[in-house]
Structure 1
């Protein structure tokens, strides 16, 4: 049995990681979620260390997506003794924007003003006291899916009547203040092992919500190129990203924020436990973050084997 197993859904997204592990001579097993099953009364973990690479956007590719299945599977493996990186508890946060915002707020970070509902018809009442434009978001999204902008209460009412508002696979919706991003950019900070790894500034159009900067996203046919560059965030933002990673137990993942152009407030709005890493890292960053990830995985494997 290998010392490392990688659980994933997308057949091609993690080839750079697999290649980096091969280059470094680290054996691992690939476990594709499609068609997977497990015995809750048995089935030992596939390896002492398991890395979860479950994508929230999987529901866009398959209506029989594995998000909730993976949560049960990871919980089973953890309870059976495996060290699961980005395990069931992390997946539960990753799959709920509502829970993310609650966590961010408890950490003392500013978030966009938000109301959470479980019925589309309640959005109008939830919008009382909000200004326009505002956003309606699916609680579980991915690659910018499930986000719509409304310019007036009448437009929102019409969308509800036409059943045109976003839907979420868990039935939960967020109504959120639209915060204009200063400079037309958002900031994405990546973490590894609870520590800051790198940050990039990504161009953001007012009606564009698919801002994934990874190879897996940039290469999508028909997808417009997005501008991005490496940046050095303010120390307080770095500390905030590290606090989020540690509070969630996220072994690797990103934290996103924007600077509200109305008042200069840094508003945190997304925690993403699936890091595909930035496209063309050698040119954007000057180094390849997959090598740092492999270093971290090797260290964790050595810890587990030495127990």
Structure 2
């Protein structure tokens, strides 16, 4: 029987999609690739395959899930199976350097970034960047892994020599110019089937943990703005630059990415910088309920339509 196969490593992030499959009575199977095998002498089952492997899988004890997923995707693509968010998407998911290089090549502005391996190289990168403040982040990351703000090279040096320094899983730390939003928020544009579905404004006044999934939320804190007004951490908005969205859609089509959340920030001068492409995107239930827009439902319908067209 032909069905939808979901490749992943996090049950919490996949359950909402499963619920939508069952609601729509769509046939599905999940492949949890924290471990397993790839038999190159066999043929894959019939159906369509949706990859939502995460760059942060190692933070959940699934160190080699991305590598196993890469092997499985190569096997599926060898047999001409329909793969959504295939090898090209995985390549970008696992490396912010790859993301920035691809975005810049497409004419999409990114923050100035230098990748480095080793203590001395990191200090050299910070000096070469010649911008303060600056941030560090992991090249293979997600969930804000390794993000720290520094106001001087000396502060970075002290951090590197401390027990607080967090070694990135692929060894590459990024030194990046700090883009400050005057209103303390970033925007995440969501795409399904390569097409824009909505944008969500994310309040960053409380730090860099920006994962919108319910499973990422520690509590329901709200950031006070003024004495009586409050704003939620995640809020779906209507006011978004449609020219930028068109650039993103063209970029996703060129890179064969079907599902993504793309994050960008605007500085005080109105300049927009794109700094993250998340190809295993998740959605916040509170923001969606308020706006009446539902990403996982849209995704499930898209996968169902793709399955039907594939028969």
Instruction: Determine the structure 2 residue equivalent to 1:254.
Output: 261
Matched positions, count: 300
SS of the residue 1:303 aligns to: helix
Aligned counterparts of 2:167 and 2:177: Cα–Cα separation in 1: 18
* Cα offsets for 1:244-276 (capped at 9, x unmatched): 322321111110000012x22001000000112
| Cα 1:34–1:110 shift into 2, 3 Å | closer
Do structure 1's residue 100 and structure 2's residue 103 form an aligned pair? no
Aligned counterparts of 2:189 and 2:55: Cα–Cα separation in 1: 18
Q: Is the 8 A contact 2:35 2:68 kept in 1?
A: no
Q: Is the 8 A contact 1:6 1:31 kept in 2?
A: yes
Instruction: Determine the structure 1 residue equivalent to 2:31.
Output: 31
Superposed counterparts of 1:110-125, under 5 Å: 110-125=109-124
* Cα offsets for 1:51-79 (capped at 9, x unmatched): 11212221101053411111111111111
Q: Of 236, 249, 259, which residue of structure 2 is paired with 1:242?
A: 249
Q: Of 281, 285, 292, which residue of structure 2 is paired with 1:279?
A: 285
TM-score of the pair, normalised by structure 2: 0.90
Q: Is the 8 A contact 1:8 1:32 kept in 2?
A: yes
Listed as ranges, the gaps of 5+ residues in structure 1 are none
Aligned counterparts of 1:236 and 1:161: Cα–Cα separation in 2: 44
Superposed counterparts of 1:183-202, under 5 Å: 183-202=183-202
Aligned counterparts of 1:146 and 1:230: Cα–Cα separation in 2: 27
Aligned counterparts of 2:220 and 2:64: Cα–Cα separation in 1: 23
Shift of 1:222: 5.7
Aligned counterparts of 2:168 and 2:46: Cα–Cα separation in 1: 33
Listed as ranges, the gaps of 5+ residues in structure 2 are 223-231
Q: Is the 8 A contact 1:48 1:81 kept in 2?
A: no
Shift of 1:168: 1.7
Shift of 1:46: 3.3
Q: Is the 8 A contact 1:190 1:196 kept in 2?
A: yes
Shift of 1:282: 4.3
TM-score of the pair, normalised by structure 1: 0.91
Shift of 1:92: 0.9
Aligned counterparts of 2:125 and 2:33: Cα–Cα separation in 1: 37
| Cα 1:54–1:4 shift into 2, 3 Å | same
* Cα offsets for 1:113-157 (capped at 9, x unmatched): 111223332012112252221111110111111211112111112
Instruction: Determine the structure 2 residue equivalent to 1:180.
Output: 180
Kindly report the root-mean-square deviation, in angstroms, between the aligned alpha carbons of the 2 structures.
Answer: 1.9
Instruction: Determine the structure 1 residue equivalent to 2:297.
Output: 291
SS of the residue 1:102 aligns to: helix
Instruction: Determine the structure 2 residue equivalent to 1:4.
Output: 4
Q: Is the 8 A contact 1:45 1:81 kept in 2?
A: no
| Cα 1:244–1:217 shift into 2, 3 Å | farther
* Cα offsets for 1:27-48 (capped at 9, x unmatched): 11121113321213x2322332
Shift of 1:303: 2.1
| Cα 1:141–1:282 shift into 2, 3 Å | closer
